[in-house]
Amino acid sequence: MLFDKTYYVVPDDVGVKAYKLMIEALEAEGLVGVAKVAIRDREHLSALRTKDKMLVLETMHWPEEIREPEFDELRSRASVSDRERKMARQLVKNLAIRKSA
């Protein structure tokens, strides 16, 4: 819900060493950077993450931009049997794409 658009971040020639150091540090510590960036005269909250040995900037929505879910249909109580739950879980397992080890 929070993420909006994704951009690859690429350094200029003099910034390659710092770029690689940033990637290594973020990956080694398991961290994500959080920043404010200006794109087209608008300030965006953003996350800076690593992906395939590259930095990726993901713009995010500000918390007040996300509306609360208010759907009357989901307030009604639906009766679900154990058999239906088991069938649904089996269907999800059968359709799941598994990563090879």
**The residue type at 57:** L
pLDDT digits (tens, 9 = 90+) for 16-73: 999 999 999 999 999 999 989 998 888 989 999 999 999 999 998 887 777 787 777 7
Radius of gyration of the chain (CA): 21
pTM as predicted: 0.61
Q: Which of 75, 73, 51, 54 is nearest to 11 (CA)?
A: 54
Q: Which of 11, 58, 48 is nearest to 26 (CA)?
A: 48
Q: What is the mean predicted confidence (pLDDT) over 87-92?
A: 90
Q: Which of 38, 62, 58, 54 is nearest to 46 (CA)?
A: 58
Q: For position 98, what pLDDT does the model report?
A: 65
Cα(101)–Cα(92) distance, integer angstroms:
20
Whether the per-residue pLDDT at 99 is higher than 60: the answer is: no
Q: What is the mean predicted confidence (pLDDT) over 68-81?
A: 78
